[in-house]
Amino acid sequence: METRLLIRGEQVAGDGGQLAVENPYTESELASVRLPSREQVDAAIAGAREAARGWAATPALERCELLHEVAARMRARTDELAELMTLEGGKPRIENSDEVGWTAAAFDYYAELGRSSAGRVIPPIESTQLSLVLKEPVGVVAAIVPWNYPLLLLAWKLAPALAAGNTVVAKPSELTPLSTLALAECVEHLPAGVVNILAGDGEIGEAIVADGRVDCVAFTGSVETGKRIAHICADRLARINLELGGKDPFIVCPDVAPAIETAARGGAWAAFLNGGQVCTSAERFYVLEPVYDEYLQAFVDYTDSLVLGDPLDPGTDIGPLVSARQRKRVAGQVEAAVAAGAEVVTGGGNGGNGTGYFYAPTVVTGAAADTDLLREETFGPVAPIVRVESLDEAIELANSTRFGLGCNVYTKDLDTILRCMREIKAGTVWFNDPLTDNDAGPFGGMKQSGVGRELGQEGLEAFQETKHVHLETSLAPKDWWYPYGRGQ
Amino acid sequence: MSVTVQQYKNFVGGEWVDAAEAGTAEIINPATGEAIAEVPDGTEADVDRAVEAAKSAAPGWRDATPGERAEVLLKLADLIDEHTDELAELESRNVGKPLAAARDEMPVCSDNIRFFAGAARVLEGRSTGEYMQGYTSWIRREPIGVVGQVAPWNYPLMMAVWKFAPALAAGNTSVLKPSEQTPLSTLRFAQLAADVIPAGVLNVITGDGEPVGAGIVRHPDVRMVSLTGDVATGKEVARAAAETLKRVHLELGGKAPVIVFDDADPAQVAEAIKIAGYWNSGQDCTAASRVVAGPQIYDKLLDELVPAVESLQVGDPAVGDEIEMGPVISKAQQDRVLGFLDRAKGANVLTGGGTNGDRGFFVKPTVVVDVDQTDEIVQREVFGPVVTVQRFADDDEALAWANDVPYGLAASVFTRDIGRALNASRKLEFGTVWINDHIPLVSEMPHGGFKQSGYGKDLSAYSLEDYTQVKHVMAKLD
């Protein structure tokens, strides 16, 4: 498989080193990607810089039409893009087809939002004045994207950045560069340099982030890398928009007893979707005592019915994890919890799959509150289920980690809903509908789960600067000017 | 207690004036039926004089910055706070409402004014942009000009505030007519305001709907008219305003339903209805006047509601703070309310249902059951201390009954189930929907009706927008 970078509107072979991309289902090499040389990284940033002025001056309606065209081209390539993501990431193909659809939808959404974006006319302080608030692009945006949703998480940066009039240098994860590089076909109708796509690991990412010509860095990934980016950007006060990890709680309240199986299915989906490799995966279940036993039973039964297998097979529910390293990390957290007294009720191990980085969907009970399994991000298909005595306890535990990305609650009780929506420290709170995204709804984290928001109006504003224009129409001198105290 | 009949004048162009044709009218205390004041009884000549004053003041007030206008409004709010006791006592005597209730209204009035003082400073045009290459656009939000405002008698000063505060904050000048029955607090407020507000920005004239109210609506230099009143008057205003294509802002009657689902707490609901149905003797356009209760909770609710209503202390507010409910505003209103009860054949009055004592215009707090959805007492606004209770069979019937009136001002739903609460909040055709309470309002949120309860919003930034007009300015860049 031959891959090309996109630099200054041209698809070119990389002049740098080689990167082997592995298929996590077969554990064999899928492609060898030619990485950009130092000069090519420089050229991509320079290209974005050169294109910035023209793109910012392009009428919003024209940008809108060009972005709709990006969406249309993506939809036309759904099969190709979904297959590439399946091969490089191991996510079930059906989820990847959905992802292409959501990716295109984000472009359609921001095409229109960008067109409608407006500043304000604010009240003047004197009646001879006009005061305007203008919204302008930031300039050159670096978009650094992870491997779990390569296209979707790129779109949540690329689409609003472009809609707001910025140019972009994008870098996918070193584990999943193929689908992103294939995206060049979908943006080739844009003016040269508006979108540049590179590939590479953290070293190339850091070269982009550290470049003084980059005005804003939008990143999705781990907390540790996010902090590293924040440190580098702090030096020149470049703008940052960071969507980092989570340790999302999932609270089940007693009033859902009549629908306990639905709540269990919803929980299992929230925990195991994409092998639990979602930043908003449900990673801690707090179940109120009156429904605990029933919920656990329903959850385990449902988990045991899930099918592990070839992600290209339409009958597969859960594919392999993305890498050997990832599986080791997940297994290590579970082992440590068991060593501290937890019990694996179902799952653990590879589910009988000798090849592929499989980890069976796992339900754990009795985990101690201070184990990493209940404190640090797992990013794997593991559902620790904890019995709690009261809603107070559930909310306190939900808020007890350094993360604050998302939270799920199952209840129809009005008072419980009003309490949870105010008291839970999380960027998103879902009630009775786990993990559903809405392009109009801002997404991102509180606490160490990040800075800024993607999607919605906030997702556009992340890539806009605000300018206040103060216009005095009278040329009369002001009485507060010099000279002081000597009369006029 | 001795009764002194106080003389009042109108406030026009910063001056204190008698009616142009020298007429006067008596103002009555509805708790005693005695005259307590004499005010000018205006004619169309008074309207002309006031509109002329407002017109002269308009350019200067329009050009004042929002900050300068806010400063004036903040001083007006301070004046109300400084004269709470006096204004509350006037309101209590003129409307017949308990003194404590009248006192509660004063900080609400000053907060409303302060809200609009601040909101005027953040009133923004939506856009500045380049939508066609080579051009840029922006929006100016401008005042409309001279605004005519007609206030009702149930909350005289508060309703006056709801009208003049957003109008003035947005840069309009106002000709304000309080109700001919309850002008005292507004005239007294104008006296206090005279030193603070530029001449002609706020003018207060008194008199009957015809000729003064109608004169304002007919006047060609009045660019907008806002009314809080009954539906029939609202329609007349809309028709008359059409002649000069004035903007019209109408907050009219209501017939607010209270939907009580079976999972609600009957004691909590009864307590809420005791307040929301009988506050101000039920003379509130959002009064909780129609309870529709679920099949299981209906009996339990009545068991709680009837004694709660019977516990209300009714009497002349001058007796003391133990009085919780006073009379209705007038003999005519008393006759009107009792007329609804007389005509409600087949209905059962569980408590109340007559006058209270032989002096003043009292109606006992009343609960009526066994009524049909089509009955007059269910369909039309009573505007008195009368609450009907119906038993519904299922959720669909509850919502259908709640919506099946010509009005659409406010409604409430009592339930602990989020699905029912959100379903009701979506399907109820009313400008305000409360969940698990009925009646509270805040300055920051809009109040106004759907259907025949009128159009236009009071309170909130939406009200401020109603008192402005939008101008698009488009500039060629080269």
For B78, B91, B172, B248, the CA distances from B200, given in Å and listed in that order, are: 20, 25, 11, 22
CA distance B335 to chain A (A): 43
Q: What is the spatial distance between Cα A166 and Cα A188, in angstroms, rounded to a whole number?
A: 16
Chain A residue numbers with beta carbons less than 8 Å from the beta carbon of B124 are 120-123
Q: Is the pLDDT of residue B223 over 50?
A: yes
Q: Residues A425-454: what's their mean pLDDT?
A: 97
Domain assignment present for residue B261? The answer is yes
Domain edges within chain A: 5-244+445-470, 248-431
pLDDT level of residue B284 (50, 70, 90 thresholds): very high
- pLDDT tens for each residue of B401-418: 999 999 999 999 999 999
Contact of B71 with chain A, judged by CB distance below 8 Å, is answered with no
Q: What is the spatial distance between Cα B84 and Cα B90, in angstroms, rounded to a whole number?
A: 10
Q: What is the spatial distance between Cα A463 and Cα A476, in angstroms, rounded to a whole number?
A: 38
Chain A residue numbers with beta carbons less than 8 Å from the beta carbon of B415 are 414
Q: What is the spatial distance between Cα A210 and Cα A240, in angstroms, rounded to a whole number?
A: 12
Do you find a cis peptide bond into A483, omega within 30 degrees of 0? Answer: yes
Contact of B318 with chain A, judged by CB distance below 8 Å, is answered with no
Chain A residue numbers with beta carbons less than 8 Å from the beta carbon of B120 are 123
Residue B331 sits in the same domain as residue B384? yes
With CB atoms and an 8 Å threshold, state whether B418 touches A125. Answer: no
With CB atoms and an 8 Å threshold, state whether A125 touches B65. Answer: yes
Contact of B70 with chain A, judged by CB distance below 8 Å, is answered with no
Q: In this structure, are residues B106 and B84 in contact, taking their beta carbons and an 8 Å threshold?
A: yes
Q: What is the spatial distance between Cα B227 and Cα B234, in angstroms, rounded to a whole number?
A: 7
Which residue of A60, A121, A413 is in closest CB contact with B124?
A121
Set A186, A253, A279, A407: catalytic member: A279
Chain B residue numbers with beta carbons less than 8 Å from the beta carbon of A122 are 122, 124
- pLDDT above 90 covers what percent of chain B? 92
Interface test with A, best of B138, B414, B423, B434 (most A CBs within 10 A): B138
Q: Which residue type does A124 have? A: P
Residue B152 sits in the same domain as residue B266? no
Q: What is the CA radius of gyration of chain B?
A: 23
Contact of B36 with chain A, judged by CB distance below 8 Å, is answered with no
DSSP state of B328: -
CA distance B134 to chain A (A): 9
CA distance A59 to chain B (A): 6
Q: B263 to chain A: nearest residue by CA?
A: A413
With CB atoms and an 8 Å threshold, state whether A415 touches B122. Answer: no
Contact of B268 with chain A, judged by CB distance below 8 Å, is answered with no
Q: Is the pLDDT of residue B3 over 60?
A: no
pLDDT level of residue A425 (50, 70, 90 thresholds): very high
With CB atoms and an 8 Å threshold, state whether B122 touches A59. Answer: no
Contact of B141 with chain A, judged by CB distance below 8 Å, is answered with yes
CA distance B78 to chain A (A): 23
Q: What is the spatial distance between Cα A36 and Cα A13, in angstroms, rounded to a whole number?
A: 8
Q: In this structure, are residues A412 and A247 in contact, taking their beta carbons and an 8 Å threshold?
A: no
Interface test with B, best of A61, A120, A468 (most B CBs within 10 A): A120
Interface test with B, best of A414, A429, A433 (most B CBs within 10 A): A414
Domain assignment present for residue B63? The answer is yes
Tell me what pLDDT residue B132 has: 80
Of A90-94, A274-278, A483-487, give the lowest mean pLDDT range: A483-487
Sort B38 into a burial class: Cβ within 10 Å, 0-12 / 13-18 / 19+. middle
Tell me what pLDDT residue A52 has: 98
Q: What is the spatial distance between Cα A439 and Cα B25, in angstroms, rounded to a whole number?
A: 63
What CATH number is attached to the domain comprising B86? 3.40.605.10
Q: Is the pLDDT of residue A488 over 90?
A: no
With CB atoms and an 8 Å threshold, state whether B130 touches A122. Answer: no
Q: How many CB pairs under 8 A join A and B?
A: 69
**Number of domains present in the structure of chain B:** 2
Q: Which residue type does B363 have? A: V
Contact of B477 with chain A, judged by CB distance below 8 Å, is answered with no
- pLDDT tens for each residue of B300-358: 999 999 999 999 999 999 999 999 999 999 999 999 999 999 999 999 999 999 998 78
- pLDDT tens for each residue of B141-184: 999 999 999 999 999 999 999 999 999 999 999 999 999 999 99
Set A99, A174, A243, A461: catalytic member: A243
Q: Mind telling me the catalytic residues of B?
A: 251, 285
Residue B225 sits in the same domain as residue B161? yes
Q: Is the pLDDT of residue B47 over 70?
A: yes
* A243 is a catalytic site residue: yes
Q: A255 to chain B: nearest residue by CA?
A: B417
Residue B330 sits in the same domain as residue B459? no
Do you find a cis peptide bond into B211, omega within 30 degrees of 0? Answer: yes
- pLDDT tens for each residue of B418-443: 999 999 999 999 999 999 999 999 99
Q: Which residue type does A458 have? A: E
Domain assignment present for residue B118? The answer is yes
Q: A431 to chain B: nearest residue by CA?
A: B418
Residue A296, both tokens: 């656990």
* ipTM > 0.90, yes or no: no
pLDDT level of residue B124 (50, 70, 90 thresholds): confident
Contact of B140 with chain A, judged by CB distance below 8 Å, is answered with yes
- pLDDT tens for each residue of A367-404: 999 999 999 999 999 999 999 999 999 999 999 999 99
Chain B residue numbers with beta carbons less than 8 Å from the beta carbon of A123 are 65-67, 120-124
Q: What is the spatial distance between Cα B376 and Cα B342, in angstroms, rounded to a whole number?
A: 11
With CB atoms and an 8 Å threshold, state whether A414 touches B123. Answer: no
CA distance B120 to chain A (A): 8
Residue B319 sits in the same domain as residue B218? no
DSSP string, A108-174: HHHHHHHHH---EEE--SSTTEEEEEEEEE-SEEEEE--SSSHHHHHHHHHHHHHHTT-EEEEE--T
Buried b (16+ CB within 10 A) or exposed e, A47-82: bbbebbeebbebebeebbebbbbbbebbbebbeebb
Contact of B239 with chain A, judged by CB distance below 8 Å, is answered with no
For A48, B121, B299, the CA distances from A191, given in Å and listed in that order, are: 10, 42, 73
Neighbours of A203 (CB within 10 A): 10
Contact of B132 with chain A, judged by CB distance below 8 Å, is answered with yes
pLDDT level of residue B133 (50, 70, 90 thresholds): confident
Mean pLDDT estimate for chain B:
96
Chain B residue numbers with beta carbons less than 8 Å from the beta carbon of A413 are 416-418
Which residue of B125, B138, B416 is in closest CB contact with A415?
B416
Tell me what pLDDT residue B126 has: 67
With CB atoms and an 8 Å threshold, state whether A413 touches B127. Answer: no
CA distance B222 to chain A (A): 24
Contact of B65 with chain A, judged by CB distance below 8 Å, is answered with yes
Q: B141 to chain A: nearest residue by CA?
A: A121
Residue A347, both tokens: 């799952």
With CB atoms and an 8 Å threshold, state whether A412 touches B132. Answer: no
With CB atoms and an 8 Å threshold, state whether A119 touches B128. Answer: yes
Residues 6+ apart with CB under 8 A from B288: B256, B258, B272, B273, B276, B277, B387, B412, B438, B439
Domain assignment present for residue B449? The answer is no
Residue B225 sits in the same domain as residue B118? yes
With CB atoms and an 8 Å threshold, state whether B140 touches A126. Answer: no
Residue B386 sits in the same domain as residue B308? yes
Residue B295 sits in the same domain as residue B168? no
**pTM (2 decimals)?**
0.89
- pLDDT tens for each residue of A214-234: 999 999 999 999 999 999 999
Residue B91 sits in the same domain as residue B13? yes
Chain B residue numbers with beta carbons less than 8 Å from the beta carbon of A119 are 127-129
Tell me what pLDDT residue B2 has: 47
Q: Is the pLDDT of residue B1 over 50?
A: no
Residue B347 sits in the same domain as residue B231? no
Which residue of B128, B415, B416 is in closest CB contact with A118?
B128
With CB atoms and an 8 Å threshold, state whether A414 touches B416. Answer: yes
Q: B118 to chain A: nearest residue by CA?
A: A123
Q: Is the pLDDT of residue B123 over 60?
A: yes
Q: Is the pLDDT of residue A275 over 50?
A: yes
Q: What is the spatial distance between Cα B96 and Cα B90, in angstroms, rounded to a whole number?
A: 10
Q: What is the spatial distance between Cα B401 and Cα B46, in angstroms, rounded to a whole number?
A: 46
What CATH number is attached to the domain comprising B363? 3.40.309.10
Q: In this structure, are residues A345 and A353 in contact, taking their beta carbons and an 8 Å threshold?
A: no
Q: Which residue type does B23 have? A: G
What is the enclosing helix (H) or strand (E) of A67? helix A60-76
Residue B407 sits in the same domain as residue B273? yes
Tell me what pLDDT residue A127 has: 86
CATH 3.40.605.10 fits A5-244+445-470, yes or no: yes
Q: Is the pLDDT of residue B277 over 70?
A: yes
| Closest-CA residue to A271 (of A422, A382, A432) | A382
Chain A residue numbers with beta carbons less than 8 Å from the beta carbon of B131 are 59-61
Cα A267 from chain centroid (whole Å): 20
Q: What is the CA radius of gyration of chain A?
A: 25
Q: A121 to chain B: nearest residue by CA?
A: B125
Chain B residue numbers with beta carbons less than 8 Å from the beta carbon of A134 are 128
Mean pLDDT estimate for chain A:
97
With CB atoms and an 8 Å threshold, state whether A414 touches B132. Answer: no
Residue B242 sits in the same domain as residue B153? yes
* CATH superfamily of the A248-431 domain: Aldehyde Dehydrogenase; Chain A, domain 2 (3.40.309.10)
Tell me what pLDDT residue A487 has: 61
CA distance B247 to chain A (A): 24
Question: B149 is in which domain, residue-wise?
Answer: 6-252+454-473
Domain assignment present for residue B331? The answer is yes
Tell me what pLDDT residue B135 has: 86
Neighbours of B10 (CB within 10 A): 25
